[in-house]
Chain A
Amino acid sequence: MVLGLLGLAVFVVPLAGLLARVPWARLPALLGGDVVTDALRLSAVTSLAAVAISAVLGIPLAWLLARVEFPGKRVVRAVVMLPLVLPPVVGGSALLFALGRRGLVGEALGDATGLVLPFSTLGVVVAATFVAMPFLVLTVEGGLRSMDRRFEGAAATLGAGRWTVLRRVTLPMVAPSLVAGVVLTWARAFGEFGATITFAGNLQGRTQTLPLAVFVALETDRDTAVAISLVMVAVSLIVLAALRDRWWGAR
């Protein structure tokens, strides 16, 4: 029990430190500033976009890893997990070297389409997707592996087509994993900092998400930094608590 409480203290003490610094009286004025509202809007848009892209690309990838046998699968899975262990600033540098204006792919992309990812909002989404998508792939893959595949077989025997089986049997059965994956992916994308500032830069209204705004404000206006941090804590707690009640409340 002592160790458990010590474990809890690891989370609670920093939070208390933050709360102790909150300038409550000036809070409404600080939060109404355009730096905060711009960053909040940008964080909401980019983190949700990252979740959407992760779902579109990550679910098929998870299915591939769970259901299809192919050589080198271990390596593929390791590559997918890499962003989880890699320091985000390394990920950001890798993105810059690959997708930057002079990057491996980025140069051709820019020549062909005129699209420049660094220093753009799209670049923020790319960085967030890179660091967050593994959460979705791994949780959905786990769900697909642990589900009882006989249900799918039974549905197919009863005449359901592949698409119907996927829609009516497989997806509902992995729904809890999918939801958990989406929440984790969103949380990681919402808090993303290192890859973003390295790859997408930092400009208010275009690439400055809440974590970047905190970082910059910490050196110029500490009260604003604390206020933004408080917003992030509040948004994260509300989302996590609400989702938990709704989907995992029964456990």
Chain B
Amino acid sequence: MRLRMVGLAVLVMAAAGCGGVGSDPGGEIRVSAAASLTDAFASIEQAYEDAHPGTDVVLNLAASSSLREQILEGAPVDVFASANLLNMQVVADAGMVVGEPAVFAGNTLQIAVPPGNPGGVSGLADLSREELLVGLCAAGVPCGDFAREALALAGVEAAVDTDEPNVRALLTKVIEGELDAGIVYTTDVAAAGSVVEGIAVPAGHNVAAEYPIAVLAGAPDPVGAEAFVAFVLGAEGRAILAGHGFTLP
């Protein structure tokens, strides 16, 4: 008897949950995009909504690895734009992607330092200095994996003080001056403007990030999703991405 009541309670909860998730909201496209796309996709959202009145693009911005987990756990998402191929591949391998993911942008790494460069950082080798406060993205987050690749290529063992959950969280701590240096994307430094300085990572040690985008198999609005992806891959999307400092495939 008791068990049956609990079962009933569970059923009621499940039914209540379905109402919110399954229904198709009028013209809403849910886009899960990597944190490093924050500014570029805000511009793309604006341009898309201007071109398609009545459509509402909803951005969910986080580390690609967080977005991947949300999608794998069944979050209602129409489009996934990842900051690396790996996270997209995991979603595709789970059979949750429609067609082939398309690479729509590329990025490189820079060392972000607070204005005036108080730590006197001039290259990757400085990140091994114990007296500096150095941050990376956590391992598993694309910017964290790329940063570790670059450090390995340069043969530098970084004295890391914090593994931040996503690139924007890392950048914020550099902007606030709490960290002396952090490895972020070139586009993040450009987006932040004068509140951080970027120090180039030489081409031999740099790692080129590739951003794939795809419509998800469980998309609540597959038509809108296709249209949005086409927009990002099209002339207007490319122009916006280039304007934010991304390289184009």
Contact = CB atoms under 8 A, between A and B. Distances in A.
Interface of A: 1-2, 5-6, 8-9, 12-13, 96-97, 100-102, 116, 118-119, 197, 201-204, 206-208, 215-216, 218-220, 222
Top 5 nearest A-B pairs (CB, nearest first) are A201-B162, A220-B140, A219-B65, A9-B9, A102-B177
B6 A216 contact: no
Nearest to B72: A222
B128 to A, nearest CB: 16
A202 B9 contact: no
Nearest to B140: A220
B236 interface: no
Contact of A197 (B13, B66, B165, B176): B165
25 contacts: A2-B5, A2-B8, A6-B9, A9-B10, A9-B13, A12-B6, A13-B10, A96-B178, A97-B176, A100-B176, A100-B177, A101-B133, A102-B176, A116-B133, A118-B173, A119-B179, A197-B165, A201-B164, A216-B138, A216-B140, A218-B69, A219-B63, A219-B66, A219-B68, A219-B141
Given A202-B138, A219-B66, A5 B5 contact: yes
A9 B10 CA distance: 7
A1 B179 CA distance: 54
A143 B6 CA distance: 37
A21 B177 CA distance: 41
A6 B13 contact: yes
Nearest to A222: B69
A203 B161 contact: yes
A17 to B, nearest CB: 10
B135 interface: yes
B12 interface: yes
Mostly, the B contact residues are mixed
Given A5-B6, A216-B163, 11 more contacts: A6-B12, A9-B10, A13-B13, A101-B133, A101-B177, A119-B133, A119-B178, A201-B173, A207-B162, A219-B140, A219-B141
Contacts of B179: 119
B217 interface: no
Interface of B: 5-6, 8-10, 12-13, 63, 65-66, 68-69, 133, 135, 138-141, 160-165, 173, 176-179
A84 B165 CA distance: 24
A18 B113 CA distance: 41
B178 A100 contact: yes
B245 to A, nearest CB: 26
Contacts of A207: 162
B69 A202 contact: no
A118 B173 CA distance: 10
Contacts of B8: 2, 5
Contacts of B139: 216, 220
A206 B163 CA distance: 11
Contacts of B165: 197, 202, 215-216
Contacts of B160: 203
A9 B165 CA distance: 31
A218 B69 CA distance: 8
Contacts of B138: 202, 216, 219-220
Contacts of B66: 219
Contacts of B135: 201
A215 B139 CA distance: 12
Contacts of B65: 219-220
A5 B9 contact: yes
With most chain B CB atoms within 10 A of its CB, the pick from A1, A13, A216 is A216
A2 B9 contact: yes
Contacts of A13: 10, 13
Contacts of A116: 133
B161 A201 contact: yes
B71 to A, nearest CB: 12
Contacts of B12: 6
A203 B140 contact: no
Nearest to A106: B178
Given A201-B135, A219-B141, A9 B177 contact: no
Nearest to A100: B178
B213 to A, nearest CB: 20
Given A6-B9, A13-B13, A219-B66, A202 B164 contact: yes
